[in-house]
Structure 1
């Protein structure tokens, strides 16, 4: 029996099993078993009964962040890519025109953003159909995913694509669960929770741990609404948490009333890549979601250089990160830095050290020894 067939068998059994107190242990085991089978498909040597390994297309990475276009064939990804970046990505009404990843670069607020046009995926991609696993393997490495949908059938396709990405360990617009599982030598399983357990019970937790042969562990749950799937994600440890924007394409084909309804889909931007409608809103949404920080340099005795910002990622935007992004030798030569902007305590500038955290559009002068 192939991995895909085993997955189908487990999924069918889960669908047949009614959730209640008596079945929670069994369901917990099934969910853990399903995750382990999915892991075989994610790995490069996974044998899913079709398709290649879990490795993605070779793409040279450029820019400060990467945005991957994911969607079914013929939803307009290539047209949008070509117009955004000026990079030619073959577009036509024929399915599967794009057969490999096409990279391009879009400059936003002085920051080079790499755009990756991925081949259209098909239902069953995470089980090895088509080139889906290669597509999703690249998507796992992106800082942001554009899920491009046809406005004439957005919700059905949205659900299917989310399911494909979910099956490949990608969690969209979520943060890692606030759960820790610490293995120990003896003492059995001890479970502590600072919030009520509403979607998982102790039996289900122990069942999941048992499937992973974890018989001695301290489990701490500090977040409401934790499920068995969340616990599995923590134990597996190979999940990626990526923001996603739903690009609802071809709005030139619908009415204003229908457009109003589309705006109710969270994290969505309706556009027309063909008629170039609402693209500015999409680019701004992309910038806000990437959460980048622009920092301007100020040479001694000169005005700040606002033409070429140093762009850093939020969470890695200290003075040390700023120096290293220019040249690693600067950290060794730095005596102190002066910062003007949102992160400074006063408008005339603040003298700071390497661990000072910068904010968007700060100005920095590095004083050398």
Structure 2
């Protein structure tokens, strides 16, 4: 199926949603999710990795973490990139300045962060307007999204950008639904509800499962799930990414307006031009990336506190630490001494599966 025909089907379903009953709405949402997945697969770049070729979107990942800057044109993304990384992204006071994905890197607490200034996203990315699909493709590869909002019109832009990202399977500041779906070779759709369901009945659950070709399945639901939760679980390709809303150009609004807008969850107000509140932004980026610093200690020497090994909190075992330094170190590993909050006592002798905490000190003993 071509991109244009998929887009036509999406438009038709969107129009039909407005007059649908609850059960019918669920089926329309399921079909919409399937078509949008096809559209993402067929779009420029072929999917989650972003496009290839010479348009600047096939940027190689570098550093310890990747952060994407998303926003409407002329909200200050290029200025922020320049202030944090020193990279000139052709900042100017007119729209659509940035035509390609511009990368830059900055250091914070020993962590090397790649920051990507993505071209201005505009309403209608799902229909192929602007470079929206390419922006979304690269955004799916990031560990954190910064949505930049102009302080003079933040809520309008926030809603539009969130809808564009949601439409392509990016879930901001959300956790995956506690729904497990196991496909079976035969039998009906068996539904196991650990908690009471107030949004879904068995008939709708079964219909949605069959729409995604789970004709025989075991569905275990461990939360009061919505229709969207179940569709996300059935689709199975959702990306759950933390997000900060960077409120730029705060020098152009009143204190009263700033106080009100600062109450929005995950909002960091800044002025890139005047470098207001940049330190708080860096600290929030560090927290959301969930990285830890681990220091090495050669035998008989003091710890090297100037060059930490950066690990993710999701992958922070002694084995991960060894592999980050060199594969051979993991192969020659015998045991390790650990000082810090992850140790029961200092030092503690540990194996490969020991999980490290931020600012632990590690000494590896080889075989």
> What's the TM-score bracket when you normalise by the shorter of the two chains?
over 0.9
4+ long deviations beyond 2 Å: 51-56
Listed as ranges, the gaps of 5+ residues in structure 2 are 52-56
1:206 has 2:206 as partner: yes
- The 5 A counterparts of 1:216-231 are 216-224=216-224, 226-231=225-230
> Which residue number in structure 2 is paired with residue 17 of structure 1?
20
Report the secondary structure of 2:298's partner residue.
coil
| Cα shift at 1:28 | 2.1
- The 5 A counterparts of 1:185-196 are 185-196=185-196
| Cα shift at 1:332 | 2.0
| Cα shift at 1:167 | 0.6
Report the secondary structure of 2:18's partner residue.
helix
- The 5 A counterparts of 1:158-173 are 158-173=158-173
Mapped contact 1:293–1:312 kept (Cα < 8 A): yes
> Which residue number in structure 1 is paired with residue 291 of structure 2?
292
Q: TM-score, normalising length from structure 1? A: 0.94
- The 5 A counterparts of 1:247-286 are 247-286=246-285
Comparing 253-262 with 154-163, greater Cα deviation is found at 253-262
Mapped contact 1:52–1:131 kept (Cα < 8 A): no
Mapped contact 1:126–1:165 kept (Cα < 8 A): no
1:342 has 2:345 as partner: no
Which whole-Å CA distance do the structure 2 matches of 1:114 and 1:213 have between them? Answer: 39
Report the secondary structure of 2:355's partner residue.
coil
| Cα shift at 1:27 | 2.1
Which whole-Å CA distance do the structure 2 matches of 1:78 and 1:199 have between them? Answer: 43
Mapped contact 2:212–2:235 kept (Cα < 8 A): no
Q: How many residues align?
A: 357
Which whole-Å CA distance do the structure 2 matches of 1:213 and 1:330 have between them? Answer: 46
1:334–1:139 distance in 2 versus 1, CA, 3 Å: same
Report the secondary structure of 1:146's partner residue.
strand
Which whole-Å CA distance do the structure 2 matches of 1:18 and 1:235 have between them? Answer: 21
| Cα shift at 1:315 | 1.4
Mapped contact 2:293–2:308 kept (Cα < 8 A): yes
Which whole-Å CA distance do the structure 2 matches of 1:38 and 1:164 have between them? Answer: 11
| Cα shift at 1:65 | 0.4
- The 5 A counterparts of 1:1-369 are 2-19=5-22, 24=23, 26-43=24-41, 45-46=42-43, 54=47, 55-56=50-51, 57-224=57-224, 226-346=225-345, 348-369=346-367
1:330–1:53 distance in 2 versus 1, CA, 3 Å: closer
Which whole-Å CA distance do the structure 1 matches of 2:270 and 2:88 have between them? Answer: 20
Q: TM-score, normalising length from structure 2? A: 0.95
1:193-248 C-alpha deviation (Å, 9 max, x unpaired): 11111222212211211212322111110012x11221111121111100000000
1:111–1:52 distance in 2 versus 1, CA, 3 Å: closer
> Which residue number in structure 1 is paired with residue 54 of structure 2?
none
| Cα shift at 1:358 | 0.2
